[in-house]
């Protein structure tokens, strides 16, 4: 029997503070080359801009992954345990998980996202449409450490869900934003989350695959300039967090495929020489100098299977689309 919540519960573990010192941000800005972690894309506006990107004709990952779920969802459900606690990493609008509720039949939904206000709003709307499904939002920066924590564990225990199997759901190939060793660390933490629940849990994860440059680069540099706006909005977010003075219009979006590293790279390129300042520091950028904002690694299925096994998961299986562009992996814990 399901426990009926009238409203979603929310635990905020990530507390962005405008003007506060952020050592990670400052270290990246002072590095050579300069960099900003992609998690800082996702303020409220950045989250909405990313939702717009997923609707673009050039951006194949979202619709291709959706097609994989539509075609193979029933087969996935034969491996994913019914009645699991569905833990949705980088949940954003929660739309991808919500489409799978009828297929996976979770006993509870736990979306996790760094964009706290956006997640809070979307979860409230989702709970109204699924009033009988317990929901717990976690406002968390899981890129540094991923664990459900004591508050979530208590919440599950109060609903007699602590011993339900846990399924970590990580769609969209966001695992590609991490360097390979960082990806392994996150997958190890996901494995620990799965093991802490009842037997039968595991990881359901979307993974983008290696494909031609002519397909990859337009997906990250669209004709309408939505991705460019998403990239430059990062600077507005950093301005708020650091009280910095980036001028977004003085930066050009760059999206390119680094074939040697099997990854898309996004950069912001300085238009003219300029100095960016924040309380206690500054960084001079030369004309044409780049600020690295994102990697998106593309995988060969066999290599990703190896990574899953290294993280402690059992024998994985995967489903793909007709073109072999995208894979969804199920890896039992």
- 53 close to 224: Cβ distance less than 8 angstroms: no
Of 141, 119, 210, which Cα lies nearest the Cα of 173?
210
Tokens representing 281? 């520091």
Maximum Cα–Cα distance for the chain, whole Å?
63
What is the chain's mean pLDDT, rounded?
Answer: 94
HSE at residue 38, side-chain half, CA atoms within 13 A, is 17
Please give the Cα distance from 311 to 182 (Å, whole number): 11
Model pTM? 0.92
Of 119, 118, 84, 116, which Cα lies nearest the Cα of 101?
84
Residue 22: the pLDDT is 86
Of 331, 332, 322, which Cα lies nearest the Cα of 70?
322
Q: What is the pLDDT of residues 75-107, one digit of tens each?
A: 999 999 999 999 999 999 999 999 999 999 999
Q: Residue 303 is inside which H or E element, if any?
A: helix 301-310
Q: What is the pLDDT of residues 121-142, one digit of tens each?
A: 999 999 999 999 999 999 999 9
On the 0-12 / 13-18 / 19+ scale of CB atoms within 10 A, 227 is: buried
Of 85, 329, 93, 34, which Cα lies nearest the Cα of 209?
329
- CATH number of the domain located at residue range(s) 9-14+50-210+298-332 in this protein: 3.40.50.150
Range(s) within the chain of domains with CATH label 3.40.50.150: 9-14+50-210+298-332
């Amino acid at each position: 029997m399901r426990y009926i919540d009238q409203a979603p519960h929310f635990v905020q573990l990530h507390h962005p503070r405008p003007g506060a010192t952020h050592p990670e941000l400052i270290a990246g800005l002072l590095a050579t080359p300069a960099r900003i972690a992609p998690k800082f894309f996702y303020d409220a506006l950045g989250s909405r801009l990313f939702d717009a990107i997923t609707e673009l004709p050039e951006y194949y990952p979202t619709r291709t992954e959706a097609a994989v779920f539509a075609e193979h969802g029933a087969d996935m459900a034969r491996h994913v345990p019914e009645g699991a606690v569905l833990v949705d990493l980088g949940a954003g609008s929660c739309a991808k998980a919500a489409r799978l509720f009828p297929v996976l039949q979770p006993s509870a939904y736990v979306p996790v996202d760094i964009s706290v206000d956006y997640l809070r709003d979307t979860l409230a709307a989702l709970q109204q449409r699924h009033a009988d499904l317990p929901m717990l939002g976690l406002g968390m920066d899981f890129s540094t450490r991923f664990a459900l924590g004591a508050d979530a564990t208590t919440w599950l225990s109060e609903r007699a869900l602590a011993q339900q199997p846990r399924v970590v759901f990580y769609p969209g190939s966001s695992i590609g934003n991490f360097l390979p060793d960082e990806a392994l660390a996150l997958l190890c933490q996901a494995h620990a989350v799965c093991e802490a629940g009842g037997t039968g849990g595991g990881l359901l994860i979307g993974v983008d695959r290696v494909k031609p440059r002519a397909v990859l680069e337009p997906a990250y540099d669209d004709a309408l300039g939505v991705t460019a706006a998403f990239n430059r909005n990062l600077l507005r977010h950093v301005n708020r967090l650091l009280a910095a003075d980036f001028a977004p219009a003085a930066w050009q979006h760059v999206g390119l495929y680094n074939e040697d590293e099997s990854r898309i790279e996004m950069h912001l390129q300085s238009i003219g020489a300029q100095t960016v300042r924040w309380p206690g520091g500054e960084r001079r950028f030369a004309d044409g100098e780049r600020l690295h904002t994102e990697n998106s690694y593309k995988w060969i299925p066999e290599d990703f299977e190896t990574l899953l096994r290294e993280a402690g998961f059992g024998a994985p299986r995967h489903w793909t689309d007709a073109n072999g562009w995208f894979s969804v992996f199920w890896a039992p814990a």
